[in-house]
Amino acid sequence: MVGSTEEVPSHPYPNGLIQSTNGSSVEEKVDELRQIFGKADGDPLRIVGVGAGAWGSVFVAMLQDAYGNLREKVQIRIWRRAGRDVDKATAEHLFEVINSREDVLRRLIRRCAYLKYVEARLGDRTLHADEILKDGFCLNMIDTPLCPLKVVTNLQEAMWDADIVINGLPSTETRNVFQEISRYWKERVTVPVIISLAKGIEAELGPEPRIVTPTQMINKATGVPIENILYLGGPNIASEIYNREYANARICGAEKWRKALARFLRQPHFIVWDNGDLVTHEVMGGLKNVYAIGAGMVAALTNESATSKSVYFAHCTSEMIFITHLLAEGPEKLAGPLLADTYVTLLKGRNAWYGQKLAKGEINLDMGDSIKGKGMIQGVSAVKAFYELLSQSSLNIFHPDENKHVAPVELCPLLKTLYKILIMREVSSEAILQALRDETMNDPRDRIEIAQSHAIYRPSLLGQ
């Protein structure tokens, strides 16, 4: 009845099997998916997570919690790179977390693993990230113990026979890793299904400017048909979801897979809907990270002023709505998911955290966009991608106030300012407040009216 096969914790969750969801038992959901994959008795459905950041690890841990006891029917593993050292300060903190959680302490003692954390805390032993993940600790989220996971550090071993692959990599790493994975799939007879959790984009400026998403990267790198690649996103904070805070998400892609996978992934506290609009939802997941960085800056620079944050929210959401009209033929369909994902990211996401730390001077741009303990700050590369795309003259739209055609970025002053701060490094974080206080800035409603009253949809931006 537990995700780990080694013991039964004292509390029902984490590590407790969920018995039913919407009338379907756990075993029935597995059997339905196995039937779609054509699995014979004795041949387990093989699910592999790629990448062990916070959300990737939590996602795989949720599956392990729910289905890990059905070992003859489903096999769940996670891949991460080997050899990354855990520094002494992190090892010491891990020790404190372990000792504060009776269930975790007892679990490690029973597995004879407790001593290695004592030794690491004393400096007599070096821990590795893949080693602690096997014990249920994600390096980017050590305050939230997960269930123990089956960790594989050899990519070929992890991937060669995978039926379902969960992409938990940052968008900046997705292409390279899946190019390597494709080498191990050349002799495959069956085609795997890939669920991407990545929220980031790249810009491709020629021959026509367009957005490149992680699912498109995977498709090009592996040759897996796009109908076998799905995107899952939503207003989710990883640690809160694992601790059973109520959440929802959408899995987007081909109907053949998304409906059965939505049922399989659904849990009482994690409701998964399905939608056929893959690329647009995926792009929206990257767009909100852009403005979350600015939200963090505003919060830090105004001492958490509710008024200032609300002004920023009004302007950033109007820019996002404007950009949505460029990208989607039916932008109103995205309003709810986009705003919900934006709201939670502004409240507690890593991109907002990054903006706050930058504004306070506690981190600097020379440290890069991969921050220890947080992972990849995907909003930085997204700022660059959206700015470069929306600066292209081939996308010019008519500006009624100026009575001329302008590049779309000229109607996105916050995006322009974030580009100057993060990419060009021409101005400091305080420039985001100056942009908000600019007397020439239009009412946010004006930008929305331009989007709604003019034909600005550019299908080429999504390669359509």
pLDDT digits (tens, 9 = 90+) for 236-284: 889 999 999 999 899 999 999 999 999 999 999 999 999 998 888 898 8
Instruction: Report whether 184 contacts 50 (CB < 8 A).
Output: no
State the average pLDDT over residues 407-415: 94
State the average pLDDT over residues 92-115: 95
Beta strand residue intervals within 82-201, DSSP E: 85-86, 127-128, 151-152, 164-167, 193-196
174 or 400, higher pLDDT: 174
Produce one character per residue of 15-37: b if its CB has 16 or more CB atoms within 10 Å, e if not. Answer: bbbbeebeeeebeebbbebbebb
pLDDT given at position 3: 35
pLDDT given at position 10: 36
pLDDT given at position 454: 81
Structure tokens at 387: 């700015």
288 in active site: yes
Please state, in angstroms and rounded to a whole number, the distance separating the CA atoms of residues 203 and 215: 14
State the average pLDDT over residues 20-44: 86
pLDDT given at position 12: 35
SS3 269: coil
pLDDT digits (tens, 9 = 90+) for 362-372: 999 999 998 98
93 to each of 71, 115, 198, 358, 402, how far by Cα in Å? 33, 15, 28, 24, 57
pLDDT band at 17 (very low <50, low <70, confident <90, very high): very low
SS3 278: helix
Please state, in angstroms and rounded to a whole number, the distance separating the CA atoms of residues 443 and 74: 54
Lookup result for tokens 């919690």? 65
pLDDT given at position 9: 37
Instruction: Give the mean pLDDT of the chain.
Output: 90
DSSP assignment string, 153-166:
--HHHHHTT-SEEE
Residue 407: pLDDT above 90?
yes
State the average pLDDT over residues 306-335: 87
pLDDT given at position 279: 86
pLDDT digits (tens, 9 = 90+) for 157-201: 999 999 999 999 999 999 999 999 999 999 899 999 999 999 889
Kindly name the residue from 73, 116, 199, 288 that is annotated as catalytic: 288
pTM greater than the 0.85 cutoff? yes
150 or 401, higher pLDDT: 150
Lowest mean pLDDT among 21-25, 66-70, 82-86, 214-218: 21-25
pLDDT given at position 327: 87
Residue 47: pLDDT above 80?
yes
DSSP assignment string, 105-124:
HHHHHHTT-HHHHHHHHTTS
Q: Are strands 74-79 and 151-152 parallel, antiparallel or unpaired?
A: parallel
pLDDT given at position 457: 86
Beta strand residue intervals within 202-254, DSSP E: 202-204, 210-212, 229-233, 247-252
For 448, other C-beta atoms within 10 Å of its C-beta total 16
Single out the residue of 258, 62, 72 nearest to residue 168, CA to CA: 62
pLDDT given at position 374: 87
> Percentage of residues in the chain with pLDDT exceeding 90?
72
Residue 107: pLDDT above 90?
yes
Containing 58, the helix (H) or strand (E) segment is: helix 54-67
Residue 348: pLDDT above 60?
yes
pLDDT given at position 8: 34
pLDDT given at position 19: 44
SS3 317: helix
pLDDT given at position 14: 39
401 or 51, higher pLDDT: 51
pLDDT given at position 395: 92
pLDDT band at 339 (very low <50, low <70, confident <90, very high): confident
Give me Rg for the CA atoms of the chain: 23
